[in-house]
């Protein structure tokens, strides 16, 4: 059995939440709200993700959609500076595209009552890139409060960046967190960085309020230099970082006057997200191991 198969079992996720605690704001919506309130108090906004992905049964996708209704209502009630991010495979994309689209539209409708009605569609593995962008464009034809994520490691991304600039869509740019084959993705860090920066510059100069999602200080420094040289105002973009990753960098960017949004995942289905954080950084495996040993 592969590691991911083991940690994905409900019994494992129930017993071992403490392993993932550093990266996940809590198991309940209340705990997630408290985490966002703390970020807001430090001058950061948030985007909340109800954990789950690759859902293959409609009742589970329906529960995820309903969890977003609860989440959006909680953000409203607590008057927090936050919007939401979702994964289309959690909304049923692997079951039926039309059904996932209906769930996406239902969440967009619920979000329209919020102070920040924006809904970000996370980007997943390359098997669903086309379908994700297709559903994004269909939703975007109905409301502008929705935006996609583009992954700099994919060789197709410069074309997608130009398309999104043409649509005036709000893009989050990240490196990409899935294991992709060399035919379609750059796999060495220097190439990923170079392509990230090219796409970031295009989005910063010609795009609509891009989210620069990275903890990579080389990229962040290059972006800071670029916006200074081009006189791009700080209100024209935001840096985005993950909950529990480089909180020192998050605070530093705020103190320098940049807009910072933190991606805050919560819920009991944390295995896939946790696995990606562990595998992209071997120190995290030691960190998790230390939490086991210190109990």
Ligand X SMILES: Cc1cc2nc3c(=O)[nH]c(=O)nc-3n(C[C@H](O)[C@H](O)[C@H](O)COP(=O)(O)OP(=O)(O)OC[C@H]3O[C@@H](n4cnc5c(N)ncnc54)[C@H](O)[C@@H]3O)c2cc1C
CA atoms 133, 134, 140, 145: torsion sign: negative
Residue 173 binds ligand X (CB under 6 A): no
- Binding residue for ligand X, selected from 88, 164, 227, 242, defined by CB under 6 A: 242
- Binding residue for ligand X, selected from 129, 132, 214, 250, defined by CB under 6 A: 214
Write out the catalytic residue numbers. Answer: 122, 172
Residue 240 binds ligand X (CB under 6 A): yes
* Shortest distance (Å) from residue 120 CB to ligand X: 8
d(CA 180, CA 126): 7
Residue 5 binds ligand X (CB under 6 A): no
Residue least distant from ligand X (Cβ) = 215
- Binding residue for ligand X, selected from 177, 197, 200, 203, defined by CB under 6 A: 177
Shorter beta-carbon distance to ligand X: residue 72 or 152: 152
Residue 271 binds ligand X (CB under 6 A): no
Shorter beta-carbon distance to ligand X: residue 59 or 181: 181
Q: Which of residues 79-138 bind ligand X (CB under 6 A)?
A: 122-123
State how far the alpha carbon of 184 is from the alpha carbons of 35, 116, 149, 152, 160, in Å.
Answer: 37, 35, 17, 11, 14
Got the DSSP string for 93-106?
Answer: TTT-HHHHHHHHHH
CB count in 10 Å sphere of residue 144: 15
Q: Of 288, 235, 266, whose CA–CA distance to 27 is shortest?
A: 266
Contact 206, 170 (CB under 8 A): no
- Binding residue for ligand X, selected from 13, 151, 157, 250, defined by CB under 6 A: 151
- Binding residue for ligand X, selected from 245, 254, 268, 291, defined by CB under 6 A: 245
CB count in 10 Å sphere of residue 221: 10
φ, ψ of residue 148 in degrees (nearest 5): -95, 175
Residues that bind ligand X (CB under 6 A): 122-123, 149, 151, 174-178, 213-216, 240-242, 245-246, 263, 277, 280-281, 284
């Amino acid at each position: 059995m592969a590691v991911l198969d083991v940690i994905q079992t409900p019994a494992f996720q129930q017993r071992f939440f403490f392993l993932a605690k550093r990266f996940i704001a809590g198991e309940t919506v209340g705990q997630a709200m408290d985490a966002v309130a703390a970020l807001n108090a430090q001058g950061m906004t948030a985007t909340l993700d109800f954990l789950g992905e690759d859902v293959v049964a409609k009742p589970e996708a329906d529960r995820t959609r309903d969890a977003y209704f609860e989440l959006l209502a909680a953000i409203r009630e607590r008057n927090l500076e936050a919007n939401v991010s979702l994964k289309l495979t959690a909304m049923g994309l692997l079951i039926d595209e039309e059904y996932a689209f209906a769930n996406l539209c239902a969440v967009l409708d619920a979000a329209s009552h919020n102070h920040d009605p924006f809904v970000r569609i996370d980007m997943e593995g390359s098997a669903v890139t086309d379908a994700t962008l297709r559903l994004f464009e269909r939703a975007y034809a109905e409301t502008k409060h929705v935006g996609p994520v583009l992954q700099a490691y994919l060789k197709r991304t410069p074309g997608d960046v130009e398309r999104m600039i043409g649509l005036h869509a709000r893009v989050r740019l990240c490196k990409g967190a899935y294991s992709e084959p060399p035919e379609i993705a750059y796999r060495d860090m220097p190439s990923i960085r170079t392509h990230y920066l090219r796409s970031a510059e295009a989005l910063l100069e010609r795009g609509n309020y891009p989210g620069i999602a990275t903890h990579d200080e080389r990229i962040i420094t290059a972006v800071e230099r670029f916006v200074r040289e081009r006189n791009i105002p700080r209100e024209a973009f935001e840096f985005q970082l993950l909950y529990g990753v480089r909180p020192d960098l998050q605070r530093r960017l705020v103190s320098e006057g940049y807009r910072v949004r933190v991606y805050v995942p919560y819920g009991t289905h944390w295995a896939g997200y946790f696995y990606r954080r562990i595998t992209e950084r071997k120190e995290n495996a030691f960190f998790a191991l230390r939490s086991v040993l210190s109990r």
